Chains A and B, each alone.
Chain A
Amino acid sequence: MNPRQPAVDAKMSLFICMSFCPSEHLVSAISQLVSDFCKIGLRDLDISSRFHMAAHELAENITKYSTTSRVSLEVELSERDGVHILSVKTRNEASPERLKEVERRLQELKLTKDPVELYDRMIEQSAPLDGVSGLGLARIRAEGGLEFDYAIDGNELTLVVQAPVPKPTPPEAV
């Protein structure tokens, strides 16, 4: 999988792309939109809440760490070989130091066989520290149960979180 490109043989049934100037004031509105998108498209509160949390954490991260005035967040519901996949993809540019740190974390999260154990360990490690939690990505993987993929091209980070979902119910069928 190349996180920078959509799968060529995937059938896309729903897609939203938001490109915006990083602002803390937009984060909750964006994550709520993702949640509503999931609720309408899938009619599954459990999945909607997991993607709501993931979108919120990712939108906070790109807002916090972007070094440019443009970031993006995409939501896509697609079908490939009969499997429906819901994904959230973010793009932002960041400092080399931040990219190095986030790559280390993403590799650890991608490779772990027990995301919950890793998340619990990170909570233990963060407990005595003041300031930012550093738990957002681990939480998406462990609590949200979502898969990660990412690509770094120069200063640009593309991050995808996704999960297989049940076949969407068309709104008119309900």
Chain B
Amino acid sequence: MSELRLKREVYDKLTLEPVFAGGKLQVQLSGLCDSFAVKPLGAYLDGVAAEIGRLGLSGVAIDVTRLSLLNSSSLKQFITFLRPMKSGDSECKVEFVVDDQNPWQRRCLAALARMCPNAVSLRDVNGGGPGGNPSQRLRYASATPNPTRRS
């Protein structure tokens, strides 16, 4: 088995930690993806893409359960990362591991599942909920009405 060429990195408030076991790669993000994290995150995801190609991985898991916020510019880095999967140039599947106790994680990443339904799925780390449903629309768990559904 080839050695993984990714390592644990800490950039300001963001920590990225790869785990490669049993031929499966998981990358855990911890902390905060703010404007200072955007470029390092993009570069790290380039590295993940390179490893997917080099090792011939059929899937990768991105664990965001320890992330407190992902800004839109960081989300854009994931959109860029998923471009080969969306276009069909890569057959790799991407599973985002979320914690449904932190409802923003599923809400945020559901946009990626809608963008790339054949390659992206979402899974609750606690095992609950209909994870990975690419057609899932936004749901509002609180008493707040959903303004997108108002007449």
Contacts and interface: CB of A to CB of B under 8 A. Distances in A.
A123 B115 contact: yes
Interface in A1-60: 24, 27-28, 31, 44-47, 49-50, 52-53, 56-57, 60
Interface string B33-61: 01110000000000000000000000000
Interface residues of A, number: 40
A133 B32 contact: no
A165 B143 contact: yes
A114 B75 CA distance: 21
Interface in B75-97: 75-76, 79-80, 83, 86
B13 interface: yes
A57 B102 contact: no
A133 B112 CA distance: 14
Nearest to B112: A123
A147 interface: yes
A53 B104 contact: yes
Contact of A24 (B36, B104, B146): B36
A44 B142 contact: yes
A143 B107 CA distance: 6
B73 interface: yes
B104 A133 contact: no
Given A56-B71, A143-B111, A127 B102 contact: no
- Size class of the contact patch on chain B: 35 or more
B25 to A, nearest CB: 23
| Most chain B CB atoms below 10 A, which of A115, A127, A132, A142 | A127
B147 A143 contact: no
Interface in A105-126: 114-116, 119-120, 123-124, 126
B138 A57 contact: no
A166 interface: yes
Interface in A44-90: 44-47, 49-50, 52-53, 56-57, 60
A28 B69 CA distance: 9
Given A28-B34, A127-B80, A145-B147, 9 more contacts: A28-B69, A49-B102, A123-B115, A133-B75, A135-B72, A139-B75, A139-B111, A142-B148, A166-B144
Interface of A: 24, 27-28, 31, 44-47, 49-50, 52-53, 56-57, 60, 114-116, 119-120, 123-124, 126-128, 132-133, 135-136, 139, 141-143, 145-147, 163-166
26 contacts: A24-B35, A24-B36, A28-B13, A28-B32, A44-B142, A45-B101, A45-B103, A46-B141, A46-B142, A47-B144, A52-B104, A53-B104, A56-B69, A57-B72, A60-B73, A115-B148, A116-B138, A127-B83, A127-B86, A135-B72, A135-B76, A139-B75, A142-B111, A145-B148, A164-B144, A165-B144
